[in-house]
Chains A and B, each alone.
Chain A
């Protein structure tokens, strides 16, 4: 088709004036030049004669006879000319140089400019290679060019490497404070949310006679044990270079943890009281109330499982530091400080749960029940990592229906507020149920299948243009894809089914229309490390990934752009801005 169009264009060109034999001779058609400008950059280009154009891919500039290197070539914008990219206006390249061997003084070298072009009259000139002897004062190179292109002169570090470096160079106090800050920031992410019902539930389950002081103490115990577990897991992961989450995500661990929550939930419903066996309690402590503390400590310890999957740059930074230096003490302290930061808001939650705990009575029963339902929700949430989404959906649905019935959705003598809440939960749960029957797996849009456009397939497939990843599980598979896509930009996404932040990335960031459009410029590869097999471990290790999500970018030459690595969740607009720098 393109061929026919070409012929057509050729035929329709104003050929009468053409092919008259009055062609420009090569030296009239192309006037090449090269010079060094005041910013120590090389400007080189070709002044084109009338109706002359140059093929964009056939024009290049290289250096000869020097160890100076071209760091960056700024090229003009090419235009489409009968299916080829060409320069129709005299093109100029601006070359920014770098000095890897640290030469000094004025350096002489040769600039080699090659190009090939045609005349609109239908004549194509031979390719030309022109050499220009140039000289350049090297001392002008680095500082000034740094100013024009501030980003590329220093060795760039990814965020997590930069954090690792901070630990290396910073004083202990600053490090701990910084990580406390990181922790506080992380506390605002969805990773920590499931811990809110846990801590409140644990406090409330202490029952009557709970003082604010005790609530505070319990919360601290909870957060401390969470932090300790988290730190231990982190240090081990850092030392052994293992995948932290995978260690915390063994299915049996998750099942048992989930069961703990179910048990807790039923105790909230008042089926029984959850207490350590009396004999054990008396053994462990002499005091009467210590059992509560131990239970809370166990809860906190297990809760590290929940924050484990939240890999963010600071965590990775601390792990990289531990991995690189083997210094588990300082790295561990940083991690501990971070988890305390994550826990601080939880302490506040715990204390207020204790403080505002209602007096025993009907209200108390209601509040306990609500926490029980939340606990069951957390139990299902834990299972989300290892079970099929549709199963999770039906579980939530049943939970919701049960809860709304408990609230009395069909009874008339309730306060209208309670009734509405019950009704909303009921309707949503029913939608989940219907969604499950219809094969939907989205919790947010269980009835999304109703919305599917019924249009001509061709149109529909265009509208529903989804980004798709090539999935790999090993270094070999990845290398094959890298080799096959030389010359293209590649995005490698480390992900796993059990990784919460990966789901966020997928459902929020990658679902954004602008992001999708931009991402289509990349070859998309997904390293699926769900099973954490030996091969998957090696793959993670090769790219220094402690756990998903991690986004790694390769340039056109298949080199990793380390500075561009993203660890953890990133919001759509930030991600878009990041992609635009690539």
Chain B
């Protein structure tokens, strides 16, 4: 019985892969090593757009595979976490995509639907590979 549960658990968890969230503190060290793009999400509690991104967009298999493979994702709560000064925002969610040298590649005000968000990620990825 136990094994069945275990297998079931493994099966389910493999279905719903999660976005791996990184720590802002050392994310650029990782970026140097892996040459991945850093995605900083600025969010705040109770913000419907942020919840939509977390509960819908990031739950999508394709999105979280893309993010985990080619990006280092960071989630900062603007009310609790330190937000670097160059990452300006007037609303949440705001997304910043930065290269390993902390140069801003793209700023996104507000969230996007799965399809559009994938497009943005793919474009950034392609752009990086062209370099």
A residues bordering B, Cβ < 8 Å?
A: 6-7, 10-11, 15-16, 19, 21, 23, 25-26, 55, 82, 84, 118-119, 121-126
Smallest distance from the beta carbon of A427 to chain B beta carbons, Å?
A: 64
Which positions 1-46 of chain B face chain A at CB distance < 8 Å? 44, 46
What is the interface size of chain B, counting residues whose CB is below 8 A from a CB of the partner? 23
B108 — which chain A residues lie within 8 A by C-beta?
21
Cα–Cα, bound, A327→B15 (Å): 86
| Given A19-B116, A123-B92: A118 in contact with B56 (beta carbons within 8 A) | no
Smallest distance from the beta carbon of A359 to chain B beta carbons, Å?
A: 87
A26 — which chain B residues lie within 8 A by C-beta?
90-91
Cα–Cα, bound, A82→B48 (Å): 9
Contact with A along B73-109 (1 / 0, CB 8 A): 0000010000000000111110000000000000011
A10 — which chain B residues lie within 8 A by C-beta?
48, 51-52, 55-56
**Are A123 and B109 within 8 A (Cβ)?**
yes
Residue of chain A at shortest CB distance from B116: A19
In the A-B complex, the 3 residue pairs with the smallest Cβ-Cβ separation, listed nearest first, are A122-B49, A124-B47, A123-B110
Interface of A is mostly: mixed
Smallest distance from the beta carbon of B90 to chain A beta carbons, Å?
A: 5
Cα–Cα, bound, A10→B91 (Å): 18
**Are A121 and B51 within 8 A (Cβ)?**
no
Choice from A15, A23, A55, A118 contacting B109 with Cβ under 8 Å: A23
Cα–Cα, bound, A6→B49 (Å): 11
B113 — which chain A residues lie within 8 A by C-beta?
15-16, 19
Best-buried of A11, A21, A124 by chain B (most CB within 10 Å): A124
| Given A6-B51, A10-B48, A26-B90: A122 in contact with B56 (beta carbons within 8 A) | no
B63 at the interface (CB under 8 A from A): no
| Given A6-B48, A10-B52, A84-B46: A122 in contact with B90 (beta carbons within 8 A) | no
| Given A7-B51, A25-B90, A26-B91: A124 in contact with B44 (beta carbons within 8 A) | yes
**Are A123 and B91 within 8 A (Cβ)?**
yes
B47 — which chain A residues lie within 8 A by C-beta?
118, 123-124
Choice from B48, B52, B78, B110 contacting A21 with Cβ under 8 Å: B110
B residues bordering A, Cβ < 8 Å?
A: 44, 46-52, 55-56, 78, 89-93, 108-113, 116
Subset of 19 A-B contacts with CB under 8 Å: A10-B51, A10-B55, A19-B49, A19-B110, A21-B108, A23-B109, A23-B110, A25-B90, A82-B48, A118-B49, A118-B91, A121-B110, A122-B52, A123-B47, A123-B111, A124-B48, A124-B50, A124-B92, A126-B89
| Given A19-B110, A25-B90, A123-B92: A7 in contact with B56 (beta carbons within 8 A) | yes
**Are A126 and B91 within 8 A (Cβ)?**
yes
Cα–Cα, bound, A15→B110 (Å): 12
**Are B56 and A11 within 8 A (Cβ)?**
yes
A126 — which chain B residues lie within 8 A by C-beta?
78, 89-92
B91 — which chain A residues lie within 8 A by C-beta?
23, 26, 118-119, 123-126
Cα–Cα, bound, A7→B54 (Å): 10
B49 — which chain A residues lie within 8 A by C-beta?
19, 118, 121-124
A-B contact count (CB 8 A): 72
Best-buried of B49, B51, B113 by chain A (most CB within 10 Å): B49
**Are B89 and A122 within 8 A (Cβ)?**
no
Smallest distance from the beta carbon of A53 to chain B beta carbons, Å?
A: 10
Residue of chain A at shortest CB distance from B54: A7
Smallest distance from the beta carbon of B42 to chain A beta carbons, Å?
A: 10
Cα–Cα, bound, A367→B56 (Å): 87
Cα–Cα, bound, A554→B97 (Å): 54
Residue of chain A at shortest CB distance from B110: A123
A7 — which chain B residues lie within 8 A by C-beta?
51-52, 55-56
- Can you name 9 extra interface pairs (CB under 8 A) apart from A122-B110, A123-B47, A124-B93? A7-B52, A23-B109, A25-B90, A82-B48, A123-B92, A123-B111, A124-B48, A124-B49, A124-B92
Cα–Cα, bound, A11→B52 (Å): 8
Residue of chain A at shortest CB distance from B47: A124
Cα–Cα, bound, A21→B55 (Å): 20
B116 — which chain A residues lie within 8 A by C-beta?
19
Cα–Cα, bound, A21→B109 (Å): 6
Cα–Cα, bound, A82→B47 (Å): 11
B50 — which chain A residues lie within 8 A by C-beta?
124
Cα–Cα, bound, A23→B49 (Å): 12
Cα–Cα, bound, A21→B94 (Å): 11
Cα–Cα, bound, A463→B44 (Å): 42
Cα–Cα, bound, A23→B108 (Å): 11
Smallest distance from the beta carbon of A123 to chain B beta carbons, Å?
A: 4
**Are A19 and B46 within 8 A (Cβ)?**
no
Residue of chain A at shortest CB distance from B112: A19
Choice from B48, B55, B78 contacting A118 with Cβ under 8 Å: B48
Cα–Cα, bound, A25→B91 (Å): 9
Residue of chain B at shortest CB distance from A84: B46
Cα–Cα, bound, A7→B55 (Å): 7
Smallest distance from the beta carbon of A295 to chain B beta carbons, Å?
A: 78
Residue of chain B at shortest CB distance from A124: B47
Smallest distance from the beta carbon of A8 to chain B beta carbons, Å?
A: 10
Residue of chain B at shortest CB distance from A121: B110
Residue of chain A at shortest CB distance from B48: A122
A122 — which chain B residues lie within 8 A by C-beta?
48-49, 52, 93, 110-111
Residue of chain A at shortest CB distance from B79: A127
Residue of chain B at shortest CB distance from A25: B90
**Are B93 and A123 within 8 A (Cβ)?**
yes
Cα–Cα, bound, A6→B51 (Å): 9
Smallest distance from the beta carbon of B75 to chain A beta carbons, Å?
A: 15
A23 — which chain B residues lie within 8 A by C-beta?
91, 109-110
Cα–Cα, bound, A84→B48 (Å): 11
Cα–Cα, bound, A19→B93 (Å): 11
Best-buried of B89, B91, B92 by chain A (most CB within 10 Å): B91
B93 — which chain A residues lie within 8 A by C-beta?
122-124
Smallest distance from the beta carbon of B80 to chain A beta carbons, Å?
A: 14
Cα–Cα, bound, A122→B89 (Å): 15
Residue of chain A at shortest CB distance from B44: A124
Smallest distance from the beta carbon of B105 to chain A beta carbons, Å?
A: 16
Cα–Cα, bound, A10→B50 (Å): 11
Cα–Cα, bound, A119→B92 (Å): 10
Cα–Cα, bound, A347→B104 (Å): 97
Cα–Cα, bound, A365→B49 (Å): 89
Cα–Cα, bound, A141→B24 (Å): 54
Best-buried of B48, B89, B110 by chain A (most CB within 10 Å): B48
